[in-house]
Amino acid sequence: MRQRSHPIVVVLGGPDLPPSIQAIKERAVVRIASPDRLQDELPGSEVLFAWRARPGVLDPAWAKADALRWIHTAAAGAGALLTPEVIASDVLVTSSRGLFDEPIAEYVLGLILAFAKDLPGRVRLQERRTWQHRETERVAGRSALVAGTGSIGRAIGRKLRAAGMVVTGVGRVGLVGDPDLGEIVPMDRWLDALRFADYVVLAAPLTGDTRGMLDNRALSAMKPTARVINIGRGGLIVLDELVRALRGGVIAGAALDVFADEQPDDGSPLWTMPHVLISPHMSGQVVGWRDELVALFVDNLSRYVEGRELRNPVEKKPPTG
């Protein structure tokens, strides 16, 4: 790759860009664009840094991408940007995978311990100034089924095993003796694997195989004492079937960090269900995460300008969902 000097970079992002974004200016001409202004800023731009990328954001602007050579996303996955046009083009795509792995793994372990020790129940009792003994559950020795064998699923596997849990993975292809996940069972054994899990952790990408993977059939296969934790994609769960399963005692709890419609509506029964923990897509968002995302892009921008290999290249395949 030949050396380039001061390419034009469009930063597609909102008000939560950290001050460290200014560092880009040393390497590039920067245009900050809101989603509705993207088509005005794209002409002549070589680089798009998608700070926030909702699916479909590229569609109305793509015709104006007359000089685009590289898209970097601040998300762990690039799914929202892999339109047929981007895939067919020779535009490079890179992602921010890896940065979220360890924070998300800690968050998942925290949720499992919160369920086992009923910390939400403790908080509610404390609010009522109520002193009430309650027995808790062990975590060591309990089984966790982790759907997703990417870097996030693997970090979760390592973290839960370090806490003494018995971990099994679910992936496209089965494997025995995986260093992070132990045994990985193939997706066609998903329903069988669910029968043994105390905790089911969804960390899979959203594909044709995984969309709605936690549906009535899957929920019915789970133990009545089991809980599900979703830090992957909202679409992995058929939400109304989950709500019915929770109401009916089919499973014992759910922690949901992602939703297909970004957040549950105000009237959703999930808000008030005692064994449900809702969080706003924050499992990976540790203090400084925005700066780390910018630092990764700045490093990649230096590589781009100097003609070196980019970090985190994405294999451009159509999402199979």
- Tell the smallest beta-carbon distance from residue 238 to a copy of itself (Å): 21
**257-175-317-94 Cα dihedral, nearest 10 degrees:** 60
Q: Which amino acid is at 190?
A: W
Residue 10 burial class via C-beta count within 10 angstroms: exposed 0-12, middle 13-18, buried 19 and up: buried
State the minimum distance, in angstroms, from the CB of residue 164 to a copy of itself. Answer: 8
Stretch that binds a copy of itself, among 187-195, 241-249, 265-273, 309-317 (CB under 8 A): 265-273
Q: Quick check: 49 binds a copy of itself (CB under 8 A)?
A: no
- Identify the CA nearest to 302 among candidates 34, 70, 16, 58: 70
Across 31-57, b (16+ Cβ under 10 Å) vs e yields: bbbebeebbebbeebbbbbbbbbeeeb
Q: Which tokens sit at 282?
A: 């924050």
Q: Which stretch binds a copy of itself (CB under 8 A): 81-89, 137-145, 186-194, 214-222?
A: 137-145
Which residue in 25, 54, 138, 172 binds a copy of itself (CB under 8 A)? 138
Query: What single-letter DSSP state applies at residue 149?
Result: -
Judged by CB under 8 A, the residue of 139, 213, 229, 246 near a copy of itself is 139
Q: Round to whole Å and give the CA distance between 34 and 85.
A: 21
Residue 97 in tokens: 């995978």
Closest CB to a copy of itself among residues 46, 101: 101
Residue 314, judged by CB atoms within 10 A of its CB (0-12, 13-18, 19+), counts as buried
x/- track of binding to a copy of itself for residues 140-159 (CB under 8 A): x------------------x
User: What is the torsion angle, in degrees rounded to the nearest 10, for the CA atoms of residue 307, residue 312, residue 317 and residue 321?
Assistant: -150
Quote the least distance from Cβ 305 to a copy of itself, whole Å.
30
Report the residue from 4, 37, 52, 117 that binds a copy of itself according to the rule CB under 8 A: 117
Q: What does the per-residue mask of binding to a copy of itself show for 160-179, with x meaning CB under 8 A? A: --xx----------------
Among the residue ranges 178-186, 214-222, 233-241, 264-272, the one whose residues contact a copy of itself (CB under 8 A): 264-272
Q: Give contact residues for a copy of itself (rule: CB under 8 A).
A: 102-103, 106-107, 109-111, 113-114, 116-117, 119-120, 122-124, 126-127, 129, 131-140, 159, 162-163, 263, 266, 271-272, 276-282, 285-289
